[in-house]
Amino acid sequence: MKHHERVPLIPIARGEGVWLYDFEGRRYLDGISSWWVNLFGHNNLRINRAISDQLGKFAHTMLAGCTHEPVIELSERLSALTGGKLGHCFYGSDGASAIEIALKMSFQYWRNCGHSGKDRYISLQNGYHGETIGALSVTDVRLFKDTYAPLLRPSEQMPTPDTRRAEPGESPRDFAFRCARSLAAWLEEHGDETAAFILEPLVQCAAGMAMYDAEYLRQARALCAQHQVHLIADEIAVGFGRTGTFFACEQAPVTPDFLCLSKGLTGGYLPLSVVLARPEIYQAFYDDDIAHGFLHSHSYTGNPLACRAALATLEIFGEDKVIESNQGKAKAMREATRAIAQHAKVKNFRQCGMICAFEVETDDPHFGEHFREQATAAELLLRPIGNTVYFMPPYVIDAAEIEVLASRTLKIIDST
Ligand SMILES: *Cc1c(COP(=O)(O)O)cnc(C)c1O
């Protein structure tokens, strides 16, 4: 609040593609997809049309005792994207609610199966899973967590395979194996008390775009199966093509027990989240005893407008062959950022699909704020995490816009 007395908020009047416009006609390239949600630009006609069409039918109905075409179609299409392995969908309204659903469902699965002692959760160091009480309990970001510590349930953090932490000369893959050995040791001792291991596959975004080798996912999948611990893949940020594949888990490849999706799910238009689960999990709740059911609901669960936005988003993935065409864009991003990667003040330049990130060496304790101000002046909407600057643009970004993003960022690095 105080910061904005000095640096005013950016009042957004409208958006078009990767650009946001204020009321004076100034524009800002949305280099972070409005916090990792937007996929196909602002004011996307195809998504607009789908929402308008649904609006002409009905905007919302409860999903208890009622159902509707958009939610059924979306569930079937999402399940098909997992090769049918995650055959059931449970909807929430935003990312954190999906995490709460997965955590509760995992615990109750074990309880319904007669293992009520499995009530602990493990997650990765520096992991981020949202900010409601349950999600914050498995999050490991001190700034968000410390104040509420007395309210939170303790959870255990496993060493992060974040490649920046590897020993000099140690390959990302070897480091992944080393971190997996710590996970194995923990599970060996505490597997029977543990319900689930939750992680962000391939990129821990809020940790500052910490990237790691897919080998860790393979190891984690095998170890969780061996110790009867659920693997919850939080793909809220990395799903929908951000890492180069539709789901990040495909790069291992692994199938988690629970897959949490939100953010890009509706193309960045409307709040919606979903937890996909394996059929065995569904079966454990399929019972005459109502107490064995999953008694969890949100009023706007499966909102039809949001589902139609999500269906339009999936439509675009198919029609425009987005995953394939993003390979060219990712390459263009790599080339356009070469001078940044080689800059004397830049460390750890890394890229995973449509995400680029690097650290800037600086003595400025307010680097993030100052960088942001200069970016705004240069028509870029960027928001560093600490001294980590990253790009996660909407996929509609073109070569010229990639160039604008990279060259203007380079100038800011030079001047800081
Ligand atoms: C953003 C995010 C969440 C929380 O989603 P909200 O919609 O902000 O509640 C959870 N997990 C990850 C990995 C995220 O990036």
> Whose C-alpha lies nearest to ligand 1, atom 10?
129
Query: Ligand 1: which atom is nearest the Cα of residue 96?
Result: 9
Q: How far is the CA of 354 from the centre of ligand 1 (A)?
A: 18
Q: How far is the CA of 48 from the centre of ligand 1 (A)?
A: 24
Residue 55 shares a structural domain with residue 174: yes
Q: How far is the CA of 333 from the centre of ligand 1 (A)?
A: 25
**Which domain, by its residues, includes 100?**
50-318
Contact 261, 236 (CB under 8 A): yes
Residue 185 shares a structural domain with residue 169: yes
Residue 115 shares a structural domain with residue 132: yes
The CA distance from 177 to 183, in Å, is: 10
Residue 312 shares a structural domain with residue 404: no
Output the domain CATH number for residue 211: 3.40.640.10
Residue 259 shares a structural domain with residue 326: no
Residue 339 shares a structural domain with residue 245: no
The last residue of one of the domains, among 318, 333, 366, is: 318
Contact 86, 259 (CB under 8 A): yes
Query: Ligand 1: which atom is nearest the Cα of residue 238?
Result: 13
Alpha carbon 61 to its chain centroid, in Å, reads 28
* pLDDT tens, residue by residue, 325-338: 999 999 999 999 99
Residue 294 shares a structural domain with residue 325: no
Q: How far is the CA of 339 from the centre of ligand 1 (A)?
A: 32
Task: Extract the runs of DSSP E, i.e. beta strands, from 148-224.
Answer: 156-158, 194-199, 203-204, 210-211
Query: Ligand 1: which atom is nearest the Cα of residue 130?
Result: 4
- Bridge partner residues of 274 (DSSP): 91, 261
Q: Tell me 385's DSSP state.
A: B
Number of domains in the chain: 2
Pocket test for ligand 1, best of 137, 232, 263, 392 (most atoms within 8 A of CB): 263
Query: Ligand 1: which atom is nearest the Cα of residue 131?
Result: 9
Q: How far is the CA of 345 from the centre of ligand 1 (A)?
A: 30
Q: How far is the CA of 260 from the centre of ligand 1 (A)?
A: 10
Q: Which two tokens stand for residue 290?
A: 């109502």
Q: What angle do CA 304, 305, 306 make, to 5 degrees?
A: 90
Residue 284 shares a structural domain with residue 333: no
- On whether residue 12 sits in a domain, the answer given is no
- On whether residue 363 sits in a domain, the answer given is no
- On whether residue 242 sits in a domain, the answer given is yes
- On whether residue 295 sits in a domain, the answer given is yes
Residue 298 shares a structural domain with residue 331: no
> Whose C-alpha lies nearest to ligand 1, atom 15?
237
- On whether residue 371 sits in a domain, the answer given is no
Residue 282 shares a structural domain with residue 332: no
Residue 192 shares a structural domain with residue 141: yes
pTM of the complete model beyond 0.95: yes
> Whose C-alpha lies nearest to ligand 1, atom 6?
95
Q: How far is the CA of 311 from the centre of ligand 1 (A)?
A: 21
Segment 52-60 shows an average pLDDT of: 98
Q: How far is the CA of 114 from the centre of ligand 1 (A)?
A: 31
Q: How far is the CA of 55 from the centre of ligand 1 (A)?
A: 27
- On whether residue 33 sits in a domain, the answer given is no
Residue 228 shares a structural domain with residue 328: no
pLDDT band (50, 70, 90) for residue 3: confident
- On whether residue 272 sits in a domain, the answer given is yes
Segment 73-89 shows an average pLDDT of: 98
Q: How far is the CA of 317 from the centre of ligand 1 (A)?
A: 22
> Whose C-alpha lies nearest to ligand 1, atom 8?
95
Pocket test for ligand 1, best of 91, 99, 261, 262 (most atoms within 8 A of CB): 262
The CA distance from 348 to 209, in Å, is: 11
Q: What is the C-alpha end-to-end distance of the chain, expressed in Å?
A: 24
- On whether residue 25 sits in a domain, the answer given is no
Q: Name the average pLDDT for the chain.
A: 97
Residues 6 or more apart whose CB falls under 8 angstroms from that of 100 comprise 92, 132, 134, 135, 296
Segment 117-133 shows an average pLDDT of: 98
The last residue of one of the domains, among 318, 353, 374, is: 318
Pocket test for ligand 1, best of 35, 129, 140 (most atoms within 8 A of CB): 129
pLDDT band (50, 70, 90) for residue 197: very high
**Residues lining ligand 1, judged by CB closer than 6 Å?**
94-96, 99, 128-130, 200, 205-206, 234, 236-237, 262-263
pLDDT at 53: 98
The CA distance from 80 to 107, in Å, is: 26
> Whose C-alpha lies nearest to ligand 1, atom 7?
95
Segment 386-400 shows an average pLDDT of: 98
Q: How far is the CA of 74 from the centre of ligand 1 (A)?
A: 20
pLDDT band (50, 70, 90) for residue 416: confident
